[in-house]
Structure 1
Amino acid sequence: MHVIVTGGSSGIGLAIAKLYATRGDRVSLLARHPGRLEQARAEIISLSGIDSARVQIASVDVASADQTTAAIEICEASFGPCDILIASAGIVEPRAFDAMSASIFEEQISINFLGTANAVRSVYRGMKARRSGRIMMISSGAALVGIFGYTAYCASKSALVGFAEALSAEAEAFGVRISICFPPDTLTPQYRREISMRPAEAKILMGSVKPWSAEAVAARIVRGLEQGKAKIHFGFSLAALAYFGPLIKPPLMWFISRKTRKIIGQEATESLADVTDRGFDHGK
């Protein structure tokens, strides 16, 4: 079996790739940075029983449709048609919308949403012709509820929900199974960078939940694929949001709004006090 993983150089993508590699499957890792890809491949082939000839890498920016198609064509030429696609490539840059440049907003949309669509497009026609194949889109718990400072990220991950549902309607008759999952905060290199930038307002909703390990998230995704699940959730809170969002979100958003206004009010008071202090210092 040939498994292609975008965003395979670290985090959830790499953890999933390791699981399939240990089963003897052929694994292709796609990501932007050649050095990280080399390191990821070295990690995989260092595992017990792994045949290094069954793990390959390709450096590609999934935001580019042409690059993605070319890279996946090369991977399929070496390892055969793609049986499973794991679309895991993604980025997050948390900050308030009016403090976010257009380029940072667009990059998150381009990689998280369009990058997934580009990878899917590159394998879908072949899967449809063979009437066989599985596609897993890695969304996020952030697709289930709006989060302060995550306008671009929430938008990009929410868009995957509609994409997955619509594509599933087209693909089902041809034997191609489309799935989507909604991981929680996960201990990855990206998470460690993100958490240092996370606004205080976002921590009201996100800060009290213990992050999952990448290995635990990967194991649930692979198991869900084997069970033919269309949607995979993680933990009680995110599952409740997914199934009972219309009931849960109004009081939840009211609570968060109150807390957010309080934080913003405190920040405004502290800012005014700082300006006043500096004014007095200047007068001295």
Structure 2
Amino acid sequence: MAHVIVTGGSSGIGLAVARIFVARGDRVSLLARTPALLQSARDGLLAVHPNAQVCVESVDVSRETAVVDAVDRCEARFGACDILVASAGIVQPGLFEAISAEAFNRQIETNLTGSVNAARAVYAAMKTRRSGRIMLVSSGAGLIGIYGYSAYSASKFALHGFAEALRSEAQPHGVKISVCFPPDTETPQFARELDERPLEAAVVMGRVAPWSADVVASRIVRAIDRGIFEVFFGPTLYGLGRFGSLIKPLLNWWLDRAIGRITRR
């Protein structure tokens, strides 16, 4: 019975991942910012699995000390973290010159620094035990830059680089690092994002129906089980992940033409 810590665990992909581990009988700790959403998530999990072991901690993952303290409390209750799923993230679309520096930096601090903080809180102990698994949730926007998503893409591209470097360091010590690149996914955040998404971004992102959080979560958990490093969703993201340097020049040419037709209207 593993102890699984999920950041961003109060909704969306994080909560869907938690449901899978709870159904397996694992001990699950949910970390997120909003206490009311965390309690609602816990209540929902216990309604289906009354004997489940679920604890919640309200924390802003961009604050390193707060994350370490929250993880310490979870481990005091359920034991050492066996699996970390770092899925906390925010997105606020907007043109680079229009989005505030505060909104830009907040996405970097949550999506990148927040994931690093969570990994740092569990990694040293995993390395000492020579076991443990860390899944970092990036995005399809971490494989190709999206119009109107300069901050979000920057944070998710950087998360991929962090995962590659950490994987190299962790591998000799028995710690498995993974990173996944979900497409648009049906979550509360996605619904809010659509209201702010630039029309031009729909050229790239609006042609594919969003995936369900449950399907995305099942693939994430399967990859954790199998120790797979990179997890792609669908043929387009697989192609970008595996052959991006060959594909993107042609894809960017097509996107530039399509976006140009919109901006000239």
TM-score, normalised with respect to structure 2 = 0.98
Map of 2:39 onto structure 1? 38
CA contact (8 A) 1:22 1:50 kept: no
Map of 1:69 onto structure 2? 68
Structure 2's unaligned 5+ residue stretches are none
SS class of match (1:179): strand
Within a 5 Å distance, the mapping from 1:96-175 to structure 2 comes to 96-175=95-174
CA offsets 1:11-70 (integer angstroms, 9 cap, x no match): 0000000100011000000000000000000111111x4414x10000000000010000
CA drift of 1:263 comes to: 1.4
CA contact (8 A) 1:112 1:157 kept: yes
CA offsets 1:82-131 (integer angstroms, 9 cap, x no match): 00000000000001000000000000000000000000000001101111
Q: Does 1:198 align with 2:194?
A: no
Map of 2:241 onto structure 1? 242
Q: Does 1:26 align with 2:27?
A: yes
CA offsets 1:213-243 (integer angstroms, 9 cap, x no match): 0000000000111111011110011101111
Map of 2:263 onto structure 1? 264
RMSD: 0.7
CA contact (8 A) 1:94 1:199 kept: yes
User: Hey, what's the Cα distance between the residues in 1 that align with 2:242 and 2:128?
Assistant: 34
Structure 1's unaligned 5+ residue stretches are 267-284
User: Hey, what's the Cα distance between the residues in 2 that align with 1:163 and 1:56?
Assistant: 28
The one-letter code matched in structure 1 to 2:10 is: S
Map of 1:12 onto structure 2? 13
User: Hey, what's the Cα distance between the residues in 1 that align with 2:258 and 2:238?
Assistant: 24
User: Hey, what's the Cα distance between the residues in 2 that align with 1:50 and 1:150?
Assistant: 41
- Greater Cα radius of gyration, structure 1 or 2: 1
Map of 2:220 onto structure 1? 221
- Residues matched between the structures, number: 264
The one-letter code matched in structure 2 to 1:44 is: L
Moved over 6 A (4+): none
TM-score, normalised with respect to structure 1 = 0.92
SS class of match (1:5): strand
User: Hey, what's the Cα distance between the residues in 2 that align with 1:237 and 1:91?
Assistant: 23
SS class of match (1:46): helix
Q: Percent identity?
A: 55
User: Hey, what's the Cα distance between the residues in 1 that align with 2:232 and 2:58?
Assistant: 30
